[in-house]
Structure 1
């Protein structure tokens, strides 16, 4: 019997990332590898310690997860195979024996803190924030078994997922403390480059496009390749390359699959102008909603156009 595939994820147990992983793989069928950070999870795939990794890439409140965008956009190539959406709701758990009015120091992941700042200002004004590697890691550090009195004394409470409270038994001091009800985080399943999933008719493609030089109209040159082919962009963000001031790349999600004529034509045109463009995968959209494709850029329209030109050339 072959060993179970190993999936890395932002740990420890109980993170929203683990909840996302459970949507793409059954824990009984895979070997779970909790990682201390997004970068560690992606590195595990690159060096062969894990076949796949699940990492957050975008939040409906905070936008792109920069650690993920920067790493998959600039480091050794990886490929996105799937995406999942996880509704986000937070609870405040306390160190045993601490009441809500006693909380002075709170820990959690920085993205989680950004989504509860309003609640904290309203209910715990002046509270001190201590960053944690993940929401689950911050909460579990409250447990006496985490490292003794010195470890738990550094903060009084943690912001985490309700699942962590259930798993640890930590007392819940407040529920549904997120500032925006209905927030969602998008996670992606990542592997080393390989075969692209077959098109489903409701797909998404992710790219990074570096700018070889900063000049007027550079962004328009990129956008025109999509606009003229009726391709909708669902996300576009600029990120620094780390190679000096003014050096950026664009991280882009578009509606469509590389197997579609219009998408393939756009990628080919981008590659001619920006040879450093990186294809990060075409994969099914989590919502399963197909895009609206104008008739003149359907695959059938492209085939008709190609046939017409072929006929002209054969005269």
Structure 2
């Protein structure tokens, strides 16, 4: 299968000035191409599904607040999409206001729920009695401040600059060093080639039966495949039926990873492949023992072929 053309039309969680825009700039070195901010994660993914964009850059998880449900659910439902790249971005927040606004003048503050959760302690100290308001993104909060709809925003410094605001306080996160993982998502097609240090993502729906999750985990354990993330989401069908979203080390082209996914396809109610792509978190995949190496799997396949051919 020929390689897919490089995407030139990008959607991202907007408006302009979000951390997603910064992550997209890191992922795509060239300034060429179209970059369209979208009002929500669902809209960004929908732009790819409709053909209005070649790829979308959306947040998947944060080191402090965990996963982004809108992205997890958006990838698990609807027309299939695959992750082709991940980007890790250090996240720092400022308390931004219109020029000339003093802290005593702030009667309302807004931001994305994840940003508010990461700054709840500082906001309580700085703005006691003020109830934070949720918005679709940190940049949307900055835009609302610029429009006079709220007094202050928790946002990135780039958003404050973009909307003509000034920072009353820098680095207001309760836990310094937060990192958000973003993923570049495209329509299914030729996958990135294995690099030897890859991740594979998928969702799997297991039946409501005793030991179902253990059976899923064993398919990875017996093949020496390490999981880097696993969490459950309700399928919204009925209580007790869950979709497990997980990342594992390795590429679907690796024999042992491919065999594990095939096993899940047999045992699970549903499996959705979400992509194999280069690992970007600065870590190396864990060493694999001799009996679980790709070479061992290839040797076993060759032996089995000889047995089936009567060449015992």
Deviation at 1:25, TM superposition (A): 1.5
Unaligned runs of 5+ in 1: 147-151
Q: The residue matched to 2:145 in structure 1 has which SS?
A: coil
**Alignment deviations for residues 37-95 of structure 1 (CA, whole Å, 9 cap, x no partner):** 00000000001111110000010011110000011012211010000000000000113
Could you tell me how far apart the structure 2 residues matched to 1:83 and 1:3 are?
Answer: 16
The question of whether the paired residues in 2 share the 8 Å contact of 1:4 and 1:31 is answered with no
Query: Which residue among 93, 96, 101 is the counterpart of 2:99?
Result: 96
Could you tell me how far apart the structure 1 residues matched to 2:235 and 2:127 are?
Answer: 38
Could you tell me how far apart the structure 1 residues matched to 2:44 and 2:25 are?
Answer: 16
Q: The residue matched to 1:141 in structure 2 has which SS?
A: helix
Q: Which residue does 2:176 correspond to in 1?
A: 181
Aligned pairs for 1:46-61 (under 5 A) are 46-61=49-64
Query: Which residue among 15, 24, 41 is the counterpart of 2:18?
Result: 15
Could you tell me how far apart the structure 1 residues matched to 2:109 and 2:79 are?
Answer: 36
Q: Which residue does 1:149 correspond to in 2?
A: none
Q: The residue matched to 1:9 in structure 2 has which SS?
A: strand
Alpha carbon RMSD of aligned pairs, Å?
Answer: 1.7
In the alignment, does 2:140 pair up with 1:137?
A: yes
The question of whether the paired residues in 2 share the 8 Å contact of 1:240 and 1:247 is answered with yes
**Alignment deviations for residues 96-143 of structure 1 (CA, whole Å, 9 cap, x no partner):** 332113322101011110100011122222212111111011112212
Could you tell me how far apart the structure 1 residues matched to 2:242 and 2:290 are?
Answer: 35
Could you tell me how far apart the structure 2 residues matched to 1:85 and 1:232 are?
Answer: 20
In the alignment, does 2:292 pair up with 1:289?
A: no
- TM-score of the two chains, using structure 2 as the length reference: 0.93
Deviation at 1:290, TM superposition (A): 2.9
Aligned pairs for 1:46-195 (under 5 A) are 46-143=49-146, 146=147, 152=148, 154-195=149-190
**Alignment deviations for residues 195-235 of structure 1 (CA, whole Å, 9 cap, x no partner):** 11100011000000012x31111110110000111111111
Deviation at 1:4, TM superposition (A): 7.8
Query: Which residue among 221, 232, 239 is the counterpart of 1:238?
Result: 232
The question of whether the paired residues in 2 share the 8 Å contact of 1:46 and 1:76 is answered with yes
Q: The residue matched to 1:270 in structure 2 has which SS?
A: helix
Q: Which residue does 1:249 correspond to in 2?
A: 243
Count of residues in correspondence between the two structures: 305
Could you tell me how far apart the structure 1 residues matched to 2:302 and 2:282 are?
Answer: 32
Question: Please, which moves more after superposition, 244-253 or 229-238?
Answer: 244-253
Q: The residue matched to 2:83 in structure 1 has which SS?
A: strand
Could you tell me how far apart the structure 2 residues matched to 1:156 and 1:13 are?
Answer: 19
Could you tell me how far apart the structure 1 residues matched to 2:260 and 2:82 are?
Answer: 19
**Alignment deviations for residues 274-305 of structure 1 (CA, whole Å, 9 cap, x no partner):** 15101010000113533122221111111222
Query: Which residue among 249, 266, 283 is the counterpart of 1:272?
Result: 266
Question: Please, which moves more after superposition, 21-30 or 56-65?
Answer: 21-30
The question of whether the paired residues in 1 share the 8 Å contact of 2:144 and 2:150 is answered with no
Q: Which residue does 1:312 correspond to in 2?
A: 307
Q: Which residue does 1:302 correspond to in 2?
A: 297
Q: Which residue does 1:217 correspond to in 2?
A: 211
Deviation at 1:169, TM superposition (A): 2.8
Q: The residue matched to 1:182 in structure 2 has which SS?
A: coil
